[in-house]
Amino acid sequence: MIDIHHHLLYGLDDGSPDIETSLAMAEAAAADGITHIVCTPHASSNFAYQPELNQERLAALRERLGDRITLGIGCDFHLSYDNIEDALKNRTKYTINQKKYLLVEFNDFMIPQNITDVFYELSIAGQQPIITHPERNAVIKRNPERMKDWIREGALVQITSSSLTGRFGKTAQALSFQFLEKNWVHFLATDAHNLDSRPPKLSEGYEVLEKRFGKETAERLCVTNPRAVFYGEDFPRQPQALDIADEHSGQPLPKKGFFGRLFSRD
């Protein structure tokens, strides 16, 4: 299994606090059947994204772990004005392994109505957005139908493994199953932060997927799709997403300033 969302790099955000914890998390992930991890430190108002330091910490972990697990680098990218502007100027700064896939996280309190235009602009810049854990987002919980426009625009979707087992509550669990039943989900990931409350466990979610949706779905969400992302390959053909019109919703952006439109409430 391949985990594309994991806060393994130490001392950078609210994930691992030190190298020993990181090593223990990586060993636990390997024992769980995870072969590859994308280390995804936050880029947010609370945590600065520091590419050089990230690479130093990544190299230290690789040296200690050897060939027991394959590590990559990405980002838990918060959709703020400054971040978006920087990502559009620096195409591979935040993407997974400096290729073409980008994990994006919504604010829990407000998602601008024109966020679809962000995904359009990122895609034009060669970055494929992957929405992280929408089943846990308070805004989406109130209006999950908003997902339709983003998926129609081409955004991919990652849910958290432990949401399937109820760790994040019944609403997140129910919403996860609803998205899965509609083929709106492309990845399962741990979003691991530590060894206890947010552990690096993917196998439990895999087992839920296999039991409820079949082995092909479990393999697609935990191995095949994540592998394409890890190595920057073309995304595999997916089952038809249900309840979403076939026509592509992306339209040429109006001449009005992009960021003015993005953060307007119209």
Instruction: Tell me the pLDDT tens digit for each residue of 99-140.
Output: 999 999 999 899 988 899 999 999 999 999 999 999 999 999
Instruction: Name the amino acid, one letter, at 179.
Output: F
Instruction: Name the amino acid, one letter, at 219.
Output: E
Q: What is the pLDDT of residue 113?
A: 84
What is the CATH code for 2-242+256-262?
Answer: 3.20.20.140
Q: Which class for 80: exposed (0-12), middle (13-18), buried (19 or more C-beta within 10 A)?
A: middle
Q: What is the pLDDT of residue 248?
A: 41
Please choose, from the candidates 240, 46, 252, the residue with its C-alpha nearest in 3D space to the C-alpha of residue 151.
240
Instruction: Name the amino acid, one letter, at 139.
Output: V
Instruction: Name the amino acid, one letter, at 184.
Output: W
Q: What is the pLDDT of residue 245?
A: 67
- Please give the average pLDDT of every successive group of 10 residues along the chain, which has 266 residues: 98 97 98 98 95 98 96 97 96 97 94 90 96 97 95 95 97 98 98 96 98 98 98 96 64 41 45
Q: What is the pLDDT of residue 244?
A: 87
- Angle between the N-to-C axes of helices 81-89 and 115-124, in degrees from 0 to 180, rounded to the nearest 10: 20
* Residues sharing a CB contact under 8 Å with residue 221, sequence separation 6 or more, in sequence order: 185, 186, 187, 188, 209
Token pair listed for 107: 């604010």
Q: Is 52 helix (H, G, I), strand (E, B) or coil?
A: helix
Please choose, from the candidates 94, 93, 102, the residue with its C-alpha nearest in 3D space to the C-alpha of residue 131.
102
* CA-to-CA dists, residue 257 to 97, 196, 261, 263, angstroms: 31, 45, 6, 11
Q: What DSSP designation does 106 have?
A: -
Q: What is the pLDDT of residue 260?
A: 47
> What is the per-residue pLDDT across 178-189, written as a single tens digit (0 to 9) for each?
999 999 999 999
Q: What is the pLDDT of residue 114?
A: 85
Q: What is the pLDDT of residue 246?
A: 52
Q: What are the helix (H) ranges across the chain?
A: 19-31, 51-65, 81-89, 115-124, 138-142, 147-152, 170-181, 203-213, 215-219, 225-230, 258-262
Longest dimension (CA), the chain: 53
